[in-house]
């Protein structure tokens, strides 16, 4: 399917750039939002800081009155400054989704990039939904500041947990409007954020990649995003789709032995020292 009008945030590099290019090459009209210039073959560029609601509003005012899909990719890795991670990864994502929701044509979609880091959001649902249920960017920011002790230790993971929960919760409103809302949760992907993730995760980062043989390429994630955003998959709504080459599946079923992983060894050491 081609000829769609699609907005992609975070389109200057990595997964966002790969997605925008793929859509443009398929004949779609792509509108790219990013603070940095986007590739000329990825579509029209609109300067936009997803961490700033005023910048989002200015960009939204320049976008078409009707779009077929919104794809939220923009993100920062953290770990600091913690507030910036939340502003970009969740609060800004929610703000632009709300701003464009009424412009998405029936049969259209909202697809947001979360992370396998966010898949266990239910374990802290009270905290995650506490933020997800706030009304608007400023209220959400106030909540983050008031509750920093509950999330700021690992802002990236918390931000992606919020994205996942938000997409699942939004699926009802999307369905009622004739739309679809889904999350895509990549594992490790070879992008400019990789060094930051390696710094945060330490040896576990390389251990995870060793199980798969390599990191994913941005284009491999973009393939899934493009399919979910455009279809044909009209009954796919309210889903969190893991795209990690099989790491999570292998770990959950025991096909991948984690007993010697850095995380497991560290956990065992902590238990022994109690």
Q: How does pLDDT run across 89-125, given as a tens digit for each residue? A: 999 999 999 999 999 999 999 999 999 999 999 999 9
Element (H, E) at 99: helix 93-101
CATH (domain of 170): 3.40.50.720
Catalytic residues: 156
Higher pLDDT, 105 or 194: 105
Question: Interhelix angle for 194-201 vs 203-212, to 10°?
Answer: 120
Domain count, the chain: 1
Q: Per the structure block, which two tokens stand in for 26? A: 């398929």
Q: Which domain holds residue 112?
A: 5-272
Segment 8-42, tens digit of pLDDT: 999 999 999 999 999 999 999 999 999 999 999 99
Q: How far apart are CA 92 and CA 27, in angstroms?
A: 28
What pLDDT was estimated at residue 2? 56
pTM of the model: 0.95
Helix (H, G, I), strand (E, B) or coil at 5: strand
> Which pLDDT belongs to residue 96?
98
User: In a 3-state reduction of DSSP, which class is residue 167?
Assistant: helix
Q: At what angle do helices 155-176 and 93-101 cross, to 10 degrees?
A: 10
Beta bridge partners of 181: 110
Show the tokens assigned to 204: 């576990």
Q: Which residues, at least 6 apart from 266, have a Cβ–Cβ distance to it below 8 Å?
A: none
């Amino acid at each position: 399917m081609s000829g769609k009008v699609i907005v992609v945030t975070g389109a200057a590099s990595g997964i966002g750039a790969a997605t925008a290019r793929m859509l443009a090459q398929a004949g779609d009209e792509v509108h790219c939002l990013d603070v940095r210039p986007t590739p000329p073959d990825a579509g029209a560029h609109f300067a936009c800081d997803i961490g700033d609601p005023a910048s989002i509003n200015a960009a939204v005012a320049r976008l078409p009155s009707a779009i077929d899909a919104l794809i939220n990719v923009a993100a920062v890795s953290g770990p600091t400054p913690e507030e910036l991670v939340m502003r970009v990864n969740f609060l800004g994502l929610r703000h632009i989704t709300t701003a464009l929701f009424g412009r998405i044509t029936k049969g259209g979609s909202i697809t947001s990039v979360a992370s396998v880091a966010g898949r266990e959001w239910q374990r802290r649902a009270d905290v995650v939904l506490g933020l997800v249920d706030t009304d608007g960017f400023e209220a959400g920011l106030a909540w983050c500041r008031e509750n920093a002790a509950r999330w700021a230790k690992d802002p990236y993971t918390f931000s992606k947990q919020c994205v996942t929960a938000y997409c699942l919760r939004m699926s009802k409103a999307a369905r009622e409007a004739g739309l679809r809302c889904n999350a895509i949760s990549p594992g490790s992907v070879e992008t400019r954020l990789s060094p930051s993730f390696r710094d945060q995760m330490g040896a576990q980062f390389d251990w995870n990649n060793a199980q798969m043989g390599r990191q994913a390429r941005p284009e491999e994630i973009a393939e899934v995003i493009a399919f979910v955003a455009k279809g044909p998959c009209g009954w796919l709504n309210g889903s969190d789709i893991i795209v990690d080459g099989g790491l999570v599946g292998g770990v959950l079923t025991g096909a991948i032995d984690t007993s010697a992983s850095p995380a497991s060894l560290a956990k065992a050491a902590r238990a022994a020292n109690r």
